[in-house]
């Protein structure tokens, strides 16, 4: 039977068969598909009639019951509630079936979640999708409290709250655990406001460590992007749609959700612009490049389904032609990448690709941030990690001797405040367990924020340290400490980062050094000066000759073949300072190994000011090279040296005179 008109529907749904038949045709279903949906309607109508029900009883629970019975009698098609979606959407639209939000919530968990969702929407003003995610995340927490058909929240303790989050860490990603903690804190505040629990247990929710921008941005090369776009079959409607989506992602760096939300009215063909509906419901306009516009025209002029009802640009190619979701866009990219042999990549990789393409073409981080619509410069600064050519300008030459010669009660108040901070954190934990515990207030022991005065090494002083290291006992030990001092001086990396380096982290072919898992779990790549690459290669050759079978993959080795230990390293450096006859400049300014990092930063800043460079524009690159979590930490170096401060002041005076 292939004629939809020949399908007969009896029972309580019979009055709606004509309208549903027309709806299926308008949505673009093929005749055979319409027959299938009408037969399913006939089966549901008969099932309802046998139980004395009508269309008003089509709740989610009733639909699930029909599906279960259908499977039990051996039907091989339409075996899930999803098959009924076109019919249910039509019946709800004409008022014959209840809307999902109007259906009575079953069970104490769903009743509490419905109340919680109402609170999030009306009192917190959250978006529908955010509310749904929050309720889904805390549903297991409430479900675990059900006993004898009731929610036992009155006996909820801090230990229960902490145990739930800790259990989630075993099966969920750090990001999911972090979102779960946020949703749970919101639920606990809601329960406390409603009087369900006697005291707020928000403090009992552990904070999940989930640092952002920890890895290196992954991106596709121009050749790989070309292969990806060429994999779309332009002879088909699906291929033209996919090409338009991939071009938008790769050229403008849109997020998958922004592509899915793009509407026909968002494209201003006359002005050559598109309106992007981004995060936080922000609407921003971007220029429409020629190749993106051509791909959109090819899709809209002959590939977009004519039977589409909505105004979204990108739709599914099979009836009922719903708008693509964010997940559908992501999976579309994954299919295209596998099809052309690039492995499985997702939509956000193309956003990284757009950023790095602009970066390599000479765009500034500020310009890239405007295109990607970042709110904070620190987000865009993450892309500077792969700007190897500009970062390489920060690298210093590998120092040789000739090159550097020619070119308790007495405790600090900050220590007291640090100890009190640890005690306060423990007191917060105890307060969550028992509100009777007191928590020391913040600022109880003010100490002021004061950095140690950096000891800025001169070239001669660094050369003296290298000579002193060369006099250490054992050739490997001398070579290791000479290499360490030189490496810290030319890269500005932290001491801990240097001793954690493995041999495989050095790419001597491209002159790159990968620093992994540093502060806050971040990683970065340091382009090296050619002389530095040569110096490290010479050290490795000497090391392999003196110690061919080391006991660790570390780059810098002790005489026994182990990784260097920070405690022993500090003692040795202190001894080298004495041998090099370096004296303290004040009680607060003593030579430390960490000051090689400060010297590197200040040397670069001085060079920029002397050469008339745009220092504010360059600082994010220095911040990236140093591995700072935020560029604001790099601005501190402007006050680290009197000469640097004077140059900055002169630059400011000159700019003010120009304004006058």
Decide: residue 602, CB within 10 A, 0-12 exposed, 13-18 middle, 19+ buried: buried
Local structure of 189: helix, strand or coil = helix
DSSP letters, 561-582, are SPBPPHHHHHHHHHHHHHHTTP
Of the pLDDT bands very low, low, confident and very high (cuts 50, 70, 90), residue 359 is confident
Instruction: Please indicate, yes or no, whether residues 200 and 299 belong to a single structural domain of this protein.
Output: no
Instruction: Please indicate, yes or no, whether residues 622 and 494 belong to a single structural domain of this protein.
Output: yes
Within 10 Å of residue 316's Cβ, how many Cβ atoms?
A: 16
pLDDT at res. 405: 32
251 noted as active-site residue: no
In the predicted structure, residue 658 carries a pLDDT above the cut 60? no
pLDDT at res. 274: 92
Instruction: Please indicate, yes or no, whether residues 167 and 239 belong to a single structural domain of this protein.
Output: no
Task: Tell me the per-residue pLDDT of 469-506, one tens digit each, with 9 for 90 and over.
Answer: 999 989 999 999 999 999 999 999 999 999 999 999 99
In the predicted structure, residue 640 carries a pLDDT above the cut 90? no
pLDDT at res. 34: 84
In a domain, 392, yes or no: no
Instruction: Please indicate, yes or no, whether residues 195 and 114 belong to a single structural domain of this protein.
Output: yes
Average pLDDT of every residue of the chain: 83
Q: What is the C-alpha to C-alpha distance for residues 151 and 149, in angstroms, rounded to an integer?
A: 7
Instruction: Please indicate, yes or no, whether residues 607 and 632 belong to a single structural domain of this protein.
Output: yes
Q: What is the C-alpha to C-alpha distance for residues 185 and 197, in angstroms, rounded to an integer?
A: 13
Domain count, the chain: 5
Q: 566 versus 243: which is more confidently predicted? A: 243
In a domain, 128, yes or no: yes
Q: What is the C-alpha to C-alpha distance for residues 255 and 287, in angstroms, rounded to an integer?
A: 16
In the predicted structure, residue 236 carries a pLDDT above the cut 70? yes
| Residue 335 in tokens | 């299919």
In the predicted structure, residue 659 carries a pLDDT above the cut 70? no
322 noted as active-site residue: no
Question: Nearest CA to 79 among 90, 91, 66, 89?
Answer: 66
pLDDT at res. 403: 38
Q: Of these residues, 348, 390, 431, 447, which one is catalytic?
A: 348
Q: What is the C-alpha to C-alpha distance for residues 507 and 437, in angstroms, rounded to an integer?
A: 55
Q: What is the C-alpha to C-alpha distance for residues 266 and 254, in angstroms, rounded to an integer?
A: 14
- Region of residue 343 (left: phi > 0; alpha: psi -120 to 50; beta: else): left
> Cα angle vertex 528, ends 522, 530, to 5°?
165
Instruction: Please indicate, yes or no, whether residues 115 and 94 belong to a single structural domain of this protein.
Output: no
In a domain, 254, yes or no: yes
Instruction: Please indicate, yes or no, whether residues 538 and 610 belong to a single structural domain of this protein.
Output: yes
Task: Tell me the per-residue pLDDT of 573-600, one tens digit each, with 9 for 90 and over.
Answer: 999 999 999 988 888 788 999 999 988 9
Q: What is the C-alpha to C-alpha distance for residues 401 and 471, in angstroms, rounded to an integer?
A: 13
Task: Tell me the per-residue pLDDT of 173-205, one tens digit each, with 9 for 90 and over.
Answer: 888 889 999 999 999 999 998 888 888 888 888
Distances (CA, A) of 537 to 59, 353, 471, 527, 557: 72, 32, 21, 15, 14
In the predicted structure, residue 103 carries a pLDDT above the cut 60? no
In a domain, 97, yes or no: yes
How far does Cα 311 stand from its chain's mean position? 30
279 noted as active-site residue: yes
| Residue that has been written with the tokens 């038949």 in this structure | 21
* pTM of the predicted model as reported, rounded to 2 decimal places: 0.63
pLDDT at res. 619: 82
Residue range 5-22: average pLDDT? Answer: 86
In a domain, 597, yes or no: yes
Residue range 14-41: average pLDDT? Answer: 85
Instruction: Please indicate, yes or no, whether residues 530 and 584 belong to a single structural domain of this protein.
Output: yes
Q: Of these residues, 168, 185, 240, 351, which one is catalytic?
A: 351
Decide: residue 117, CB within 10 A, 0-12 exposed, 13-18 middle, 19+ buried: middle
**Cis? peptide before 320, omega within 30° of 0:** yes
| Residue that has been written with the tokens 């069970």 in this structure | 107
Q: What is the C-alpha to C-alpha distance for residues 223 and 563, in angstroms, rounded to an integer?
A: 40
Beta strands, E only, 202-298: 267-268, 273-277, 283-287
Most confident residue range from 18-22, 466-470, 612-616, 640-644: 466-470
Q: Of these residues, 383, 539, 625, 637, which one is catalytic?
A: 383
Exposed e or buried b for every residue in 496-532, given b needs 16+ CB within 10 A? ebbbbbebebbeeeebbbebbebeeebbbbbbbbebb
Instruction: Please indicate, yes or no, whether residues 344 and 382 belong to a single structural domain of this protein.
Output: yes
Instruction: Please indicate, yes or no, whether residues 152 and 229 belong to a single structural domain of this protein.
Output: no
351 noted as active-site residue: yes
pLDDT at res. 401: 41
Instruction: Please indicate, yes or no, whether residues 608 and 511 belong to a single structural domain of this protein.
Output: yes
Of the pLDDT bands very low, low, confident and very high (cuts 50, 70, 90), residue 448 is low
In a domain, 418, yes or no: yes
- Domain interval for residue 434: 413-446
Q: Of these residues, 37, 168, 374, 396, which one is catalytic?
A: 374
Q: 207 versus 642: which is more confidently predicted? A: 207
529 noted as active-site residue: no
Within 10 Å of residue 114's Cβ, how many Cβ atoms?
A: 14
Instruction: Please indicate, yes or no, whether residues 464 and 431 belong to a single structural domain of this protein.
Output: no
Q: Of these residues, 34, 240, 255, 352, which one is catalytic?
A: 255
447 noted as active-site residue: no
In the predicted structure, residue 319 carries a pLDDT above the cut 60? yes
Task: Tell me the per-residue pLDDT of 417-428, one tens digit each, with 9 for 90 and over.
Answer: 666 677 667 777
Which residues, including other chains, have CB under 8 Å from residue 583's CB and lie 6 or more apart?
none
Q: Of these residues, 279, 338, 451, 560, which one is catalytic?
A: 279
In a domain, 402, yes or no: no
pLDDT at res. 407: 37
Q: What is the C-alpha to C-alpha distance for residues 1 and 4, in angstroms, rounded to an integer?
A: 8
pLDDT at res. 522: 77
| Residue 427 in tokens | 């007191």
First CA to last CA across the chain, in angstroms?
A: 86
């Amino acid at each position: 039977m292939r004629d939809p008109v020949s399908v007969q529907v009896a029972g309580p749904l019979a009055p709606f068969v004509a309208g549903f038949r027309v709806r299926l045709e308008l949505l673009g279903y093929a005749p055979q598909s319409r027959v299938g949906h009408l037969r399913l309607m006939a089966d549901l109508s008969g099932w309802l009639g046998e139980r004395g029900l009508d269309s008003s009883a089509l709740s989610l629970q009733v639909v699930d019951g029909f599906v279960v019975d259908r499977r039990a009698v051996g039907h091989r098609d339409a075996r899930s509630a999803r098959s009924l979606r076109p019919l249910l959407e039509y019946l709800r639209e004409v008022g014959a079936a209840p809307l999902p939000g109007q259906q009575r919530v079953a069970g104490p968990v769903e009743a509490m979640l419905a109340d919680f969702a109402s609170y999030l929407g009306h009192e917190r003003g959250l978006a529908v999708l955010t509310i749904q995610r929050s309720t889904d995340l805390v549903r297991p927490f409430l479900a675990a409290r059900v006993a004898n058909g009731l929610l036992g929240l009155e006996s909820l303790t801090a230990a229960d709250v902490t145990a739930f989050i800790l259990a989630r860490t075993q099966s969920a990603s750090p990001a999911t655990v972090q979102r779960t903690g946020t949703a749970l804190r919101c639920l606990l505040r809601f329960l406390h406001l409603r009087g369900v629990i006697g005291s707020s247990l928000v403090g009992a929710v552990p904070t999940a460590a989930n640092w952002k921008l920890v890895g290196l941005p992954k991106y596709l090369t121009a050749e790989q992007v070309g292969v990806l776009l060429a994999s779309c079959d332009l002879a088909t409607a699906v291929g033209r749609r996919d090409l338009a989506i991939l071009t938008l992602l790769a050229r403008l760096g849109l997020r998958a959700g922004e592509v899915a939300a793009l509407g026909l009215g968002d494209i201003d063909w006359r002005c050559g612009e598109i309106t992007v509906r981004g995060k936080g419901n922000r609407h921003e306009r971007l220029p429409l490049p020629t190749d993106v516009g051509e791909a959109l025209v090819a899709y809209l002029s002959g590939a977009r389904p004519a039977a589409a009802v909505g105004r979204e640009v990108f739709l599914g190619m099979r009836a009922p032609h719903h708008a693509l979701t964010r997940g559908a866009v992501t999976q579309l990219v994954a299919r295209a990448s596998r099809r052309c042999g690039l492995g499985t990549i997702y939509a956000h990789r193309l956003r990284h690709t757009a950023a790095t393409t602009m970066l390599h073409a000479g765009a500034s981080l500020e310009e890239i941030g405007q295109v990607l619509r970042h709110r904070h410069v620190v987000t865009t600064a993450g892309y500077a990690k792969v700007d190897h050519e500009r970062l390489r300008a920060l690298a210093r030459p590998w120092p040789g001797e000739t090159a550097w010669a020619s070119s308790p009660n007495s405790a600090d108040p900050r220590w007291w405040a640090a100890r009190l901070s640890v005690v306060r954190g423990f007191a917060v934990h105890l307060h969550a367990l028992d509100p009777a515990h007191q928590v020391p207030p913040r600022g109880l022991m003010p100490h002021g924020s004061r950095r140690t005065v950096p000891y800025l090494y001169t070239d001669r002083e660094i050369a003296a340290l290298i000579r002193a290291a060369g006099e250490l006992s054992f050739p490997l030990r001398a070579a290791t400490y000479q290499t360490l001092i030189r490496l810290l001086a030319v890269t500005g990396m932290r001491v801990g980062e240097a001793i954690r380096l493995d041999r495989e982290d050095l790419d001597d072919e491209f002159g790159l050094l990968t620093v992994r898992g540093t502060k806050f779990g971040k990683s970065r790549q340091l382009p090296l000066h050619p002389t530095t690459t040569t110096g490290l290669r010479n050290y490795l050759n000497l090391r392999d000759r003196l110690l061919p079978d080391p006991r660790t993959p570390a780059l810098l080795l002790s005489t026994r073949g182990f990784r260097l230990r920070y405690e022993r390293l500090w003692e040795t450096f202190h001894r080298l300072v004495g041998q090099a006859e370096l004296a303290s400049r004040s009680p607060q300014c003593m030579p430390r190994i960490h000051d090689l990092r400060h010297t590197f930063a200040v040397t670069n800043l001085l060079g920029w000011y002397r050469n008339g460079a745009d220092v504010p524009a360059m600082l994010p690159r220095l911040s990236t090279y140093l591995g700072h979590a935020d560029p604001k930490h790099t601005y501190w170096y402007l006050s680290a040296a009197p000469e640097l401060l004077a140059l900055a002041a002169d630059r400011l005076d000159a700019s003010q005179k120009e304004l006058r």
